[in-house]
Amino acid sequence: MKSLMLPILSLLVAVNMSACSWDKSKPNVEVIQDMMESPAIKAQEYDESSPGHSGMRLPPENTAPVGFTPYKMTFDQAQKELKNPLAGDMSKDVLMTGQKFYVTNCAVCHGTNGEGSANSSVGQLMALKPPSMLTEKIRGWNDAQIYHTITMGQGLMGPYASHIPQKYRWQVVNYIRFLQSENGK
């Protein structure tokens, strides 16, 4: 029996090595299903193996995604410390990018031209109407205050830090300034 074990074992190793060929032109053989690609679990799905049976899991404490920069300023700190690196840049590229993110995220409540809830699909239905971007109050804010409000939210408006990437928020600020200049002559 022992004399048969060595040839059988060497045959199994040879078959396994040929199945794991490094030649990428040959199709890979998956001996055990779902070992090469495990089935994904969506955040909203039931997962019997996780705590709370939720597919959504919290990241470990004190971790941050790659490239993430924490933003821990208050409204007043932002007003004093932040400066718009694109201040006054109303180039086509800046405005087009700002418009893209504004229309996608802001126009639903604040209107496509910044006029507020009167012409917005969701803003009309809200009990507390979203303000117009064209009011004297918001015109009086500096760019950093608008940037901070986009990042952290204010009042009923939630934060849009996860919806509008950090590098595009200043472009949204410039687009809001463009709307203000077009509508407040």
Residue 36 or residue 185, greater confidence:
36
Residue 157 reports pLDDT greater than 80: yes
CA nearest 147: which of 160, 134, 131?
160
Average pLDDT of the segment spanning 86-92: 91
The Cβ-side half-sphere exposure at 11, using a 13 Å CA radius, reads: 5
In which domain, by residue range, is 174 found? 75-183
- Which pLDDT score, from 0 to 100, does residue 98 have? 95
- Per the domain annotation, does 23 fall within a domain? no
In a domain, 137, yes or no: yes
Q: How does pLDDT run across 101-120, given as a tens digit for each residue?
A: 999 999 999 988 888 877 77
Q: What is the pLDDT of residue 96?
A: 96
- Asked whether residue 1 is domain-assigned, the answer is no
46 close to 55: Cβ distance less than 8 angstroms: yes
Give pLDDT tens digits for 13-62.
777 666 555 666 766 676 776 666 766 777 778 888 777 777 777 778 88
Domains contained in the chain, number: 1
Q: Give me the CATH number covering residue 165.
A: 1.10.760.10
> Is residue 87 in some structural domain?
yes
User: Which residue type sits at 56?
Assistant: M
